[in-house]
Amino acid sequence: MKPEIRRLRALIVEDSSDDAELIRLELRRNGFELETRRVEDRAGTQEALANCGWDIVLTDHAMPTFSAKGVIEVLSACDADIPCIVVSGAIGEEAAVDLLKSGAFDYVNKSRLNLLAPTVNRALREAEERRARRAAEEALRESEARFRLIAENARDLIAMTNMAGRYVYVSPSHATVLGYSEQALLATGPLELIHPEDRERFRQWRAMDHYELRMRDAGGEWRWVEGSTSLVMWQGEPHMVSISRDISSQKEMTERLKQLAYYDPLSGLPNRTLLRDRLRQALAHARRVGRSVGVMFVDFDNFKVLNDSLGHEFGDDVLQAGAHLILESVRDEDTVARLGGDEFVVVLPAIDAPEDAAKVAEKILARISQPFEVNGQGVALSASVGIALSNGTHFEIDDLLKHADLAMYLAKESGKGQYRFFTPAMDVEAVERLNLERDMRGALDKGEFVLHYQPQLDLDDLQVSGMEALVRWQHPKRGLIMPEVFIPLAEETGLIRALGELVLNEACRQTVTWQKSGIPIRRIAVNLSAKQLQVPTFVETVEAALDRSGLEPSCLELEITESATADTQEETIHMLRALKRLGVHLAIDDFGKGYSSLSYLKRLPMDALKVDRNFVSGLEGGGGGNEDAAILRAVVELGKNLQLRVVGEGIESEDQLDFLTGSGFDEGQGFLFSRPLPAREAGRLLRREPVWRAG
Ligand code: C2E
Ligand code: CA
Ligand code: CA
């Protein structure tokens, strides 16, 4: 077998150049590619060793000025791990052993030089092994140092726990994060520091990808810590390594965000989002167990007034107190949420009968109506409550909320401080109203509102004395809608202002058009809503309508319902007086319906009094002996006393007409003469005067 060629850098310490050559020959023969240098004294050896990276040193045992022993000394002094083989003549067992002891690798007899190459090989191999081992040790030391450095400087909490639940290692970060010294910790285990509620999971001896738990720090505070554990073998025993970090501030932040996302900042109660969440859960649960969920809308009745008069800060305090009162009235498992403003929702997660919800509503209403103090000021609240219940088929969150809201709204409308249950009939009304309201906004611009005119006749000669303008809504889909349907809605939504102005302008314009075309019309009556009188600039609106149309002010009569003047304040009286000064006439409409005090009536600058048509329709046959007849007679008397023109409305029969004429009514109006007519027909009617002739 051809020996493989290996490079060998050999330092030969030998006084005989022949012997050195023999060594070289022998090694070359064995496949070494040599690079050698021969030295023969200490200085040469030192100098040679200082410079080159030798693989091996081959030395004679004894030379004239140097020795193998000296070579070994030099070698160990220069701390180079270079094997040294003594190549010499016979030296005796004792000397050989001595050499080996002092550090020579081996001894080869010059007479058996064939042993040199195997010995060199062995020496090289062992040196290589030593080097590798050293490198490995070095690497290990380095990595240990590295890991220690990491562990010691990590902000994470690194710990190792034995099976007995004791710490066997804790990183110094424990001191900075939790405030415990290493010694203190090593005397305990993690379980002693973990919050009792979080202990269970940690007690299980297993690897965990992620855990979050609370640990008590040295100051006794609970800190949130998140981490993972893994199981390792160490010193033949399983240990648990945990790496964790303090997430208290993140937790706090998350909590705060959660609070913001799910709670109303003012009251601290759940907000709409959380309410829906709770309601969803309650509904799912109720469905499973066959019970009902009650949803209650609670809305303070007088809150807006209180807020406006006493200020928003005070209002906020009242809301907080009110929220507290509601909370006090319900059980722990019930949810009380605030939707904003003074609107609260209570969810009763499991009820069996409507009475259960009714009881809670009564309790809330009773609790709220007890006067309480806010900032030293006495407050009396009342609330309206609407209740909707889920049932076997009806579990929609939005419907429940909407229905409870609707029931609350109707409770409020029917008088305050009450509760009402939702009924399916309410929904129809509400949808209807909502649709109408939406349509109405567009209707104004589209000119869908038209005026019809109903004549008023002088009862003396049955001549037309004037016309009453009555508004209708020509709805593209629903056809003609009567004012009783949309006027209340317009009043609620504020659209009445625009609508009223439109009616006023159109009535004036039409009247002037008639007058200019030679149609004799002395008076146009226009109905006003109470809401219009509350607009401070209303007088200007009337003035503008007169100016624009050119209508004589005395031709315009404004009809104001009795109820609009009944709860009037001074402002309304001023307003009426200002209107009067414009020269327009004023009439009290629907008189008798509102039972206004007569002394009050005297203060109003009125021209006419229109008796509510229900008194007229209440007249029996031609008799006039009933109660309504008595009232009508009294009203006429009153009107005359106040020097008012007395007008009877809703005259449908000749008997009624006769009665009114006989009772002294000045004017009359009703289907008997004419229904309200569109402008064109009304114009025709005016031309053919007199319209109606008895007999
Ligand atoms: P109102 O001012 O008392 O108007 C008279 C109402 O009685 C009219 O109803 C008229 O059509 C009706 N009527 C007239 N004669 C008879 C009769 O012989 N029998 C019966 N059963 N009814 C008769 P309409 O037009 O439906 O108006 C209803 C109410 O709507 C009015 O009552 C008035 O309060 C209000 N209204 C009508 N137009 C306007 C308006 O332009 N502005 C305001 N704010 N309210 C208006
Ligand atoms: Ca009227
Ligand atoms: Ca009327």
pLDDT tens digits, residue range 672-695? Answer: 999 999 999 999 998 875 545 443
Closest ligand, as measured to the CA of 454:
1
Q: How far is the CA of 472 from the centre of ligand 1 (A)?
A: 10
Please tell me the predicted confidence (pLDDT) of residue 416: 81
Q: How far is the CA of 182 from the centre of ligand 1 (A)?
A: 92
Average pLDDT over residues 446-465: 95
Contact 391, 351 (CB under 8 A): no
Please tell me the predicted confidence (pLDDT) of residue 595: 54
- For atom 38 of ligand 1, the residue with the nearest CA is 470
Please tell me the predicted confidence (pLDDT) of residue 650: 95
Closest ligand, as measured to the CA of 469:
1
Q: How far is CA 220 from CA 179, 192, 213, 216, in A?
A: 10, 12, 15, 6
Contact 360, 349 (CB under 8 A): no
- For atom 12 of ligand 1, the residue with the nearest CA is 650
Taking alpha carbons only, the member of 314, 494, 304, 282 closest to residue 384 is 304
Taking alpha carbons only, the member of 609, 669, 236, 311 closest to residue 458 is 669
- For atom 3 of ligand 1, the residue with the nearest CA is 590
Contact 36, 12 (CB under 8 A): yes
In the structure, ligand 3 is a single-atom ion and the residues with CB under 5 Å from it are 589-590, 649
Contact 99, 86 (CB under 8 A): yes
Question: Rounded to an integer, what distance in angstroms lies between the CA atom of residue 338 and that of residue 375?
Answer: 22
Please tell me the predicted confidence (pLDDT) of residue 465: 94
Ranked by mean pLDDT, the top range of 179-188, 197-206, 430-439, 564-573 is 179-188
Q: Where are the alpha helices (DSSP H) in 386-520?
A: 397-413, 424-446, 483-493, 496-516
Question: Rounded to an integer, what distance in angstroms lies between the CA atom of residue 29 and that of residue 7?
Answer: 13
487-523 per-position pLDDT tens digit: 988 998 889 999 999 999 999 999 999 999 999 899 9
Atom of ligand 1 nearest to the CA of 529: 44
Q: How far is the CA of 662 from the centre of ligand 3 (A)?
A: 21
Average pLDDT over residues 546-559: 97
Please tell me the predicted confidence (pLDDT) of residue 691: 47
Please tell me the predicted confidence (pLDDT) of residue 278: 93
Please tell me the predicted confidence (pLDDT) of residue 594: 63
| Residue 547 pLDDT > 60 | yes
| Residue 348 pLDDT > 90 | yes
Q: Where are the alpha helices (DSSP H) in 517-569?
A: 530-533, 538-549, 562-566
| Residue 56 pLDDT > 80 | yes
In this prediction the pTM is 0.49
Average pLDDT over residues 173-187: 92
Please tell me the predicted confidence (pLDDT) of residue 218: 92
- Quick one: pLDDT band at residue 562, thresholds 50, 70, 90? confident
Contact 61, 86 (CB under 8 A): yes
Average pLDDT over residues 591-596: 68
Question: Rounded to an integer, what distance in angstroms lies between the CA atom of residue 546 and that of residue 548?
Answer: 6
Please tell me the predicted confidence (pLDDT) of residue 344: 96
Contact 184, 211 (CB under 8 A): no
Contact 217, 223 (CB under 8 A): yes
Q: How far is CA 227 from CA 202, 206, 224, 323, 325, in A?
A: 11, 13, 10, 41, 44
The helix-helix angle for 312-329 and 303-310 (nearest 10°) equals 140
Average pLDDT over residues 10-16: 95
Question: Any residues with CB less than 8 A from the CB of 431 and at least 6 apart, and which?
Answer: none
- For atom 7 of ligand 1, the residue with the nearest CA is 650
How is residue 483 written in tokens? 């004012």
With a pLDDT cut of 70, the percent of the chain lying above it is 95
Question: Rounded to an integer, what distance in angstroms lies between the CA atom of residue 683 and that of residue 511?
Answer: 10
389-426 per-position pLDDT tens digit: 997 666 688 889 989 998 998 898 878 889 999 988 77
- For atom 20 of ligand 1, the residue with the nearest CA is 650
Question: Rounded to an integer, what distance in angstroms lies between the CA atom of residue 38 and that of residue 45?
Answer: 9
How is residue 373 written in tokens? 């103090």
Atom of ligand 1 nearest to the CA of 528: 44
Question: Rounded to an integer, what distance in angstroms lies between the CA atom of residue 224 and that of residue 248?
Answer: 5
| Residue 63 pLDDT > 70 | yes
Please tell me the predicted confidence (pLDDT) of residue 395: 62
Which residues have C-beta atoms less than 6 Å from ligand 1?
454, 470-471, 482-484, 487, 500, 503, 527-529, 559, 589-590, 613, 649-652, 669-671, 676
Question: Rounded to an integer, what distance in angstroms lies between the CA atom of residue 608 and that of residue 84?
Answer: 140
How is residue 78 written in tokens? 């220069």
End-to-end CA distance of the chain: 153
Contact 214, 201 (CB under 8 A): no
Please tell me the predicted confidence (pLDDT) of residue 117: 94
Which residue from 510, 649, 652 has its CB within 8 A of the most atoms of ligand 1, so it is best to mutate?
649
Please tell me the predicted confidence (pLDDT) of residue 501: 96
Q: How far is the CA of 240 from the centre of ligand 1 (A)?
A: 89
Average pLDDT over residues 520-543: 93
Average pLDDT over residues 353-359: 93
What's the DSSP call for residue 24? H
| Residue 1 pLDDT > 60 | no
Average pLDDT over residues 125-138: 92
Question: Rounded to an integer, what distance in angstroms lies between the CA atom of residue 490 and that of residue 482?
Answer: 13
291-338 per-position pLDDT tens digit: 899 999 999 987 888 888 888 899 999 999 999 999 999 999 999 999
Which residue from 527, 535, 654 has its CB within 8 A of the most atoms of ligand 1, so it is best to mutate?
527
Please tell me the predicted confidence (pLDDT) of residue 695: 39
Residue whose structure tokens are 């315009």? 556
| Residue 2 pLDDT > 80 | no
Taking alpha carbons only, the member of 469, 456, 455, 536 closest to residue 502 is 469
Q: Please state whether beta strands 667-668 and 645-648 pair in parallel, antiparallel, or not at all (unpaired).
A: parallel
Among the listed ranges 131-135, 354-358, 473-477, 590-594, which one has the minimum average pLDDT value?
590-594
- Quick one: pLDDT band at residue 482, thresholds 50, 70, 90? very high
- For atom 25 of ligand 1, the residue with the nearest CA is 470
Question: Rounded to an integer, what distance in angstroms lies between the CA atom of residue 695 and that of residue 693?
Answer: 6
Q: How far is the CA of 599 from the centre of ligand 1 (A)?
A: 27
Residue 543: Cβ-neighbour burial (10 angstroms; 0-12, 13-18, 19+): middle
How is residue 337 written in tokens? 């949420």
- For atom 41 of ligand 1, the residue with the nearest CA is 471
Q: How far is CA 547 from CA 356, 526, 533, in A?
A: 63, 16, 20
Longest dimension (CA), the chain: 173
| Residue 624 pLDDT > 60 | no
Q: How far is the CA of 483 from the centre of ligand 3 (A)?
A: 12
Q: How far is the CA of 588 from the centre of ligand 3 (A)?
A: 9
Question: Rounded to an integer, what distance in angstroms lies between the CA atom of residue 558 and that of residue 581?
Answer: 13
Share the mean pLDDT of the chain: 89
Please tell me the predicted confidence (pLDDT) of residue 565: 65
| Residue 478 pLDDT > 90 | no
Please tell me the predicted confidence (pLDDT) of residue 596: 57
With a pLDDT cut of 90, the percent of the chain lying above it is 62
* DSSP letter string, 582-645: HT-EEEEEEETSS---HHHHHHS--SEEEEPHHHHHT--TTT--SHHHHHHHHHHHHHHHTT-E
